[in-house]
């Protein structure tokens, strides 16, 4: 018996679309005990919310997120708005007893994230933070290979997330498309936006990060603010590089920037172990590179695994071996697991507390860069 689960989506932008698609697709491919019903969508502009509701099949729309929370008919609130709104909405939704899926980063900073964790745990509501890259099959397979001990002792973890869309000084800060450049809306620059993904994946695969040493740069110091029309100082980090130690003794090396000309969303990681290495690249997300030192030397080399076989993570739910899936499927996978766990009364990873751990690393990175010193990471 599939039960209905009424969804209230807050934010109809980029993530609002990926989450709506996931809710619409999940029952077609996964045998889960709930059927999401797209009940209400909320966004800033009424006409856009109405068009979005028509396009995706939401039964109603609103411009007031509090109405979504107050609606007794809504079972689950999905938060897809800029970072500065996550805390207030999540805490209100927890108090109203709703399940919550919240986009990353969890909050503007760790202090705010702590208040969210407290509210969610007190209310005892089901919760998930949308670090969706964990559920790209090749990334999940990488985790499986590590957990099986195929890499042996891990020495190095390095990750990059490179973009190039803010190189022009004419790009404004603030406003609809460019809130990510406004410190008040985003909390940080590439650290919360991009490195948070790398940190979440890294800690999931390789354990916790103990301390960090970072540098950040804001290449363009002033930008016009889209809401005030005035040229204002830029408060976000445009680029960040940091080194870290993992609890298991391995060394980490992370870099992110929006000033790497030629790169749009190049998220890559490479993990080097005693017995084998793994590498992954978002631009080729259905492949996993693997080097096994145990291979006979005359055929030893990096192999490119096409992650499409039915014994690979999630792939038995999709097409036939050889046919790959893409970015949007990671969101379908996270919804599928959330719904299954909901029925079984289990939590789904990463929950708010795990996302707080990521937030602690982000905060430590910012503090380290500011103080030009190694910074110990608080434990969640």
- Name the residues that contact ligand NAD, by CB under 6 A: 10-16, 42-44, 65, 80-83, 103-104, 130, 132, 176, 193
- The nearest distance, CB 323 to ligand NAD, in angstroms, is 24
For residue 261, give both structure tokens. 């000309």
Q: Nearer Cβ to ligand NAD, position 15 or 285?
A: 15
List C-alpha distances in Å: 59 to 6, 51, 97, 224, 354.
10, 12, 22, 38, 33
- The nearest distance, CB 11 to ligand NAD, in angstroms, is 4
Q: Nearer Cβ to ligand NAD, position 10 or 312?
A: 10
Non-local (6+) Cβ contacts of 165 within 8 A are 171, 258, 264
Q: Nearer Cβ to ligand NAD, position 21 or 210?
A: 21
- The nearest distance, CB 103 to ligand NAD, in angstroms, is 3
List C-alpha distances in Å: 165 to 170, 258, 325.
11, 6, 26
What is the per-residue burial (b if ≥16 Cβ within 10 Å, else e) of 1-20? eeeebbbbbbbbbebbbbbb
- The nearest distance, CB 192 to ligand NAD, in angstroms, is 7
- The nearest distance, CB 127 to ligand NAD, in angstroms, is 15
To the nearest 10°, report the CA torsion of 137, 141, 147, 153: -130
Q: Nearer Cβ to ligand NAD, position 81 or 276?
A: 81
Give the length of the chain: 380
The whole-angstrom separation of Cα 16 and Cα 55 is: 12
Q: What share of the chain is helix, strand, coil (3-state, %, to 5)?
A: 40, 25, 35
Sheet of strand 76-79: strand arrangement: 60-62, 34-42, 3-10, 76-79, 99-103, 127-130
Q: Nearer Cβ to ligand NAD, position 130 or 160?
A: 130
- The nearest distance, CB 144 to ligand NAD, in angstroms, is 22
Q: Nearer Cβ to ligand NAD, position 154 or 162?
A: 162
Q: Nearer Cβ to ligand NAD, position 104 or 287?
A: 104
Grouping H, G, I as helix, E, B as strand and the rest as coil, residue 99 is: strand
Q: Nearer Cβ to ligand NAD, position 133 or 246?
A: 133
DSSP codes joined into one string, 149-184: TTT-SEEEEEEEEE--TT-STTS-BSSTTTGGG-HH
- The nearest distance, CB 1 to ligand NAD, in angstroms, is 31
Instruction: Give the CB-side neighbour count of residue 117, counting CA atoms within 13 A.
Output: 20
Q: Nearer Cβ to ligand NAD, position 82 or 252?
A: 82
Angle at which helices 137-147 and 196-206 cross, to 10°: 30
- The nearest distance, CB 80 to ligand NAD, in angstroms, is 5
In this structure, the strands spanning 34-42 and 60-62 are parallel
Cβ-proximal residue to ligand NAD, closest one? 13
What number of helices (H) and strands (E) belong to the chain? 11, 17
- The nearest distance, CB 327 to ligand NAD, in angstroms, is 9
């Amino acid at each position: 018996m599939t039960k209905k689960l009424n969804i209230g989506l807050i934010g109809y932008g980029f993530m609002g679309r990926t989450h709506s698609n996931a809710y619409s697709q999940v029952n077609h491919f996964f045998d889960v005990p709930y059927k999401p019903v797209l009940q209400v969508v909320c966004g800033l502009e009424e006409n856009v919310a109405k068009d979005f509701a028509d396009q995706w099949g939401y039964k109603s729309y609103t411009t007031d997120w509090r109405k979504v929370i107050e609606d007794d008919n809504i079972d689950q609130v999905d938060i897809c708005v800029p970072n500065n709104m996550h805390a207030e909405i999540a805490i209100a939704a927890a108090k109203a007893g709703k399940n919550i899926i919240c986009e990353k980063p969890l909050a503007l900073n760790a202090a705010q994230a702590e208040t969210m964790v407290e509210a969610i745990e007190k209310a005892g509501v089901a919760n998930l933070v949308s670090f969706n890259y964990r559920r790209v099959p090749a990334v999940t397979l990488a985790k499986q290979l590590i957990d099986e001990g195929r890499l042996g002792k891990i020495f190095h973890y390095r990750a990059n997330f490179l973009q190039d869309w803010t190189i022009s000084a004419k790009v404004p800060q603030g406003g609809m498309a460019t809130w990510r450049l406004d410190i008040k809306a985003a909390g940080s620059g590439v650290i919360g936006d991009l490195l948070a993904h790398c940190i979440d994946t890294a800690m999931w695969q390789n354990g916790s990060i103990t301390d960090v040493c970072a540098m950040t740069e804001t290449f363009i110091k002033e930008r016009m603010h889209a809401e005030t029309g005035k040229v204002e100082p830029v408060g976000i980090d445009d680029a960040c590089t940091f080194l870290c130690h993992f609890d298991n003794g391995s060394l980490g090396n992370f870099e992110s920037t929006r000033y790497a000309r030629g790169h749009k969303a190049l998220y890559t990681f490479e993990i080097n172990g005693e017995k084998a290495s793994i590498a992954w690249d978002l631009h080729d997300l259905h492949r996993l590179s693997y080097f096994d030192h145990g291979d006979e030397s005359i055929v030893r080399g990096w192999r490119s695994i096409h992650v499409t076989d039915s014994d690979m993570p999630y792939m038995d739910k999709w097409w036939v071996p050889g046919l790959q899936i893409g970015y949007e499927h990671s969101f379908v996978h996270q919804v599928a697991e959330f719904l299954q766990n909901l029925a079984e009364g289990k939590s789904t990873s990463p929950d708010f507390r795990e996302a707080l751990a990521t937030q602690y690393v982000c905060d430590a990175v910012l503090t380290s860069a500011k103080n030009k010193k190694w910074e110990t990471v608080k434990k969640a």
